Amino acid sequence: MPGEPSMKILVVGGGGREHALAWKLAADSRRPRIFCAPGNAGTAQTAVNLPIAATDIEGLLEWARTERPDLTVVGPEAPLCAGIADRFESEGLRVFGPRADGARLEGSKVFAKEIMLAAGVPTAPARWFSDHAAAGEYLQAHGAPVVIKADGLAAGKGVFVCTTEEEAQDALKKIMLEKEFGPAGERVLIEDLLDGEEVSMLALVDGDKALLLASSQDHKRIYDGDRGPNTGGMGAYSPAPVADEEMRARVEREIFGRLLAELKRRDIRYQGILYAGLMITGRGPHVLEFNCRFGDPETQAILPRWEGDMLPALEACLRGELRQELVAWRPDACVCVVMASQGYPGRYAKGRPIKGLDQAAALPGVTVFHAGTTLAENDEVVTSGGRVLGVTALGKDLPEAVERAYAAVDAIDFEGAQYRRDIAARALGRKT
């Protein structure tokens, strides 16, 4: 039909990351039609939400066979590790995201550690175990501090930073005996604890080369001052001052370059986003973890800084033709503050009405990305998840971006809302 968009894009997922991806792709100069599965109340503003879970690969495939999207962009790790890219490619459908063999970098922490050691990628010394007694004996001999990790996918909750041996033995018990994370805990990784400053580095990868995106820094703990339990991320900012040009060059050479060479040696062709969670130590960058997808909330802090269209870069990845000129960055800083439900990261209530969204979005430089939201029967936006909103703002510098983001947070209200007041404080302290 005349005037109908010539391109269809499916975004798989329903969180803040997926809202940011849908928002950025919808703004492309080709004006593609965006579909989100399952999406949220925010994606409904720029996309058509589909009642299909992100993990329902058969349901997604059935829809895609009929609708033939020109590109599918996969947000979460679970469908990637389950082979959604392999399945879609077998049907002649283009997918931005690695096949299952590459997604194992996130799906198995033991596999990722083996790859890093073989490639000479700097990372913490570690041992892995499938027997609880053997793990406990090693821990007793090794001592603390250590980091205990469930091998498989545990929704970001299978990592324990243990400062005492008692804490570490308790973590082993939860993972291996009490099966808190199910099959993900059949093996555990025991790593030495690294000291330094964390930074997230994401890169586009076309199978042969990696192109680093803007740096960012996540805030994992629930409370100000990095206190309390770990969460999926309570906010992020970009750029991260710790990742200066010299450090970025080292990360590109010593981490992404070496890793890609090792993957190629193993006949693993990785195409998509590769996320390196790094600790910048006194001896340089060390890898804490690899993820096979865009970060959340890092994506919300990075994409508003991406100048121009993102779609050509994603397509170039799939053709193996990635070029630096496809990616440009605004000089502005960006800050994302996550507003979470009362009780998160534990049990939380749902269905609480959210007020002030339009007022917040009208403020200068502000975009409100939805995560755990849905539309009630009266079309009122209500809470439906632990992390509810990613309130994001651009500014000419970091102080202005922080000020704008918190002004927007102050304009929004829902019962029991909790958020950190110190997002980007480390970077602001560095500047003073």
Query: For residue range 182-204, what is the model confidence (pLDDT) as tens digits?
Result: 999 999 999 999 999 999 999 99
**pTM (two decimals):** 0.95
User: Locate tokens 């007041």: which residue?
Assistant: 421
User: Locate tokens 């770990």: which residue?
Assistant: 230
Q: Which two tokens stand for residue 423?
A: 């997002």
Look at residue 4 and tell me whether its pLDDT is greater than 70.
Answer: no
Class of domain 131-186: alpha beta
What pLDDT score does 136 carry?
96
Of 26, 42, 32, 24, whose CA–CA distance to 4 is shortest? Answer: 32
The answer to whether the CB of 188 falls within 8 A of the CB of 110 is no
The number of residues in the chain equals 432
Concatenating the DSSP letter of every residue in 357-396 gives HHHHHTSTTEEEEESSEEE-TTS-EEE-SSEEEEEEEEES
Concatenating the DSSP letter of every residue in 21-39 gives HHHHHHTSTT--EEEEEE-
What pLDDT score does 1 carry?
42
Give the mean model confidence (pLDDT) for residues 173-187: 95
Q: Where are the domains of the chain?
A: 9-97, 131-186, 197-431
Question: With respect to CATH, is domain 197-431 assigned 3.30.470.20?
Answer: yes
Query: For residue range 312-369, what is the model confidence (pLDDT) as tens digits?
Result: 999 999 999 999 999 999 999 999 999 999 999 999 999 999 999 999 999 999 999 9
Q: How many CA atoms lie within 13 A of 279 on its CB side?
A: 15
Query: For residue range 70-129, what is the model confidence (pLDDT) as tens digits?
Result: 999 999 999 999 999 999 999 999 999 999 999 999 999 999 999 999 999 999 999 999
d(CA 28, CA 26): 5
Question: With respect to CATH, is domain 9-97 assigned 3.40.50.20?
Answer: yes
